[in-house]
Amino acid sequence: MLTETLQFTPEALDALPTKPGVFILRGEQGEAYVAKSANLKHRLGRLLGPAEEGSKKLNLRQQTRTIEYSMTGSDFENRFLLYRTLRAIFPNDYRDRMKLRPAPLIRLNLDNEYPRAYVTRKIGRLTAKSIYYGPFASRAAAEKFLKGALDFFKMRRCDFDLNPDPAFPGCMYSEMKMCLAPCFKGCTDEAYHVEVSRVQSYLDSAGSSLKREIESQREAASAAMEFENAAAIHARMEKLAPVAHLLPEVARPIQNLNGVIVQTSSESNSVALFRIAKGMISAPAAFPIEQASSAKSQSMESRLATAISEIPANEPASAAELTEHIALLKRWFFRSSRMGELFLTDDKGELPMRRLVRGVSRVFRGEKESEQSTIV
């Protein structure tokens, strides 16, 4: 997993780099010690230096026999490599060691006969029909967006399995005409599934489908000179915009969560590219800023496109692994001091290559992005 191995001696500490990285300390017995650091030499010097008399600081000088480490170029790469290392060495409790909490998602449960949408932190079977949208910064943020979105539709919000019965009294949403009420056969199954399809289109398009629908209704009302109706439809549209703003730029159907993260690299004159495919993060690939002499005729866009296409997509072994990768992405993306940039594909599955080129330049020079770099 890690690239460098040293037999521990006091002199070995002098050979360690002063760069960020992940390390493993192993002894003849007992479990390995795995951690990350922004400065390998400094951190390992504290752990493996002579113990201070009376100090309660952790010291592993006597227990350590070998040092394994890999240098990284960024905090994101540090965390990603630490995750992969802990997952390999401690398969039973690596999540607890990393304090890795699943990201909040919206689940459109299409596996139920009468689908509904709700917030969850768990992804079910990868082969199931349900669609997941996210990640969101918090459960509260996801619930606020979902509640606002569902107010424009009449899909059920109850959380129990339905057995439609005309004698069932219904709930407040059916009384307020905010639900088609399949619970007491207030609609046909076909009509309910049409409404579910409208909700899915709304979530798939980040609200654009409903905006187009309402605009069409308004234009039709205006053309028919039904000005009061057109004004009411326009007021409804004005309520739609604040809800759309609650959707973070990274939140989208997980199967469409594709793109690339650009980070600083441990290799000189390079940046690190992390490909994201359906929410899964691939190991970084170094992208040299300067062209090789054999590629002088290639543009930066062309070189980037080729480099990204050559990064293998990471396939999830389980729903749990996919959940973990999305959690890592969420932890980085919603940080107030986020370093690096994210570029997502558009509706056609294409990356914004010109903006990506500018982003690579900013990351390489150590500048912060001055504009939105993601495409929703």
As a whole number, the mean pLDDT across the chain is 93
pLDDT for 73-120, tens place per residue?
A: 999 999 999 999 999 999 999 999 999 999 999 999 999 999 999 999
Instruction: Give me the amino acid identity at 8.
Output: F
Q: Over 90: is that where the pLDDT of 268 sits?
A: yes
Question: How far is residue 303's CA from residue 97's CA, in Å, rounded to a whole number?
Answer: 38
User: Residue 370 pLDDT > 60, yes or no?
Assistant: no
Q: How far apart are CA 22 and CA 3, in angstroms?
A: 10
Does the structure show a pLDDT above 50 at 372?
Answer: no
In sequence order, what are the beta bridge partners of 280? 277
Can you give the residue ranges of every domain in the chain?
A: 4-98, 105-206, 257-365
Mean pLDDT of 294-301: 76
Structure confidence at residue 1 (pLDDT): 79
Cβ burial 123-139 (10 Å sphere, 16+ → b, else e):
beeeeeebbbbbbbbee
How many CB atoms are located within 10 Å of the residue 95 CB?
A: 18
Average pLDDT of span 47-70 = 93
Higher-pLDDT residue of 330, 376: 330
Residue 376 has pLDDT above 60, yes or no: no
Share of the chain above pLDDT 70, in %: 97
Query: Token digits for 48?
Result: 């493996």
CATH of domain 4-98: 3.40.1440.10
DSSP letters spanning 306-352: HHHHTSPP---SSHHHHHHHHHHHHHHHT-TT--SEEEE--TTS---
Q: What is the mean pLDDT of residues 323-340?
A: 96
Q: 343-356 pLDDT, tens per residue?
A: 999 999 999 999 99
Which residue stretches of the chain are H helix? 40-48, 75-89, 94-98, 139-150, 172-175, 189-204, 208-223, 227-244, 300-309, 319-333, 353-365
pLDDT tops 80 at residue 360:
yes
How large is the C-alpha radius of gyration of the chain? Answer: 26
**Confidence band of 52 (pLDDT split at 50, 70, 90):** confident
| Token pair of 253 as six digits | 């159907």
| pLDDT score of 371 | 45
Residue 226 has pLDDT above 80, yes or no: yes
Q: Which residue has the higher pLDDT, 1 or 265?
A: 265
Q: Does residue 217 surpass a pLDDT of 70?
A: yes
Strand 259-264 relative to strand 341-344: parallel, antiparallel, unpaired? antiparallel
Residue 371 near residue 354, CB atoms below 8 Å: no
When pLDDT is cut at 50, 70 and 90, the band that residue 373 belongs to is very low
Instruction: Produce one character per residue of 30-67: b if its CB has 16 or more CB atoms within 10 Å, e if not.
Output: eebebbbbeebbebbeebbeeeeeeeeeebbeeebeeb
Instruction: Dump pLDDT digits (tens) for 141-160.
Output: 999 999 999 999 999 999 98
Rounded to an integer, what distance in angstroms lies between the CA atom of residue 370 and that of residue 368?
6
Q: What are 134's strand-pairing partners?
A: 252
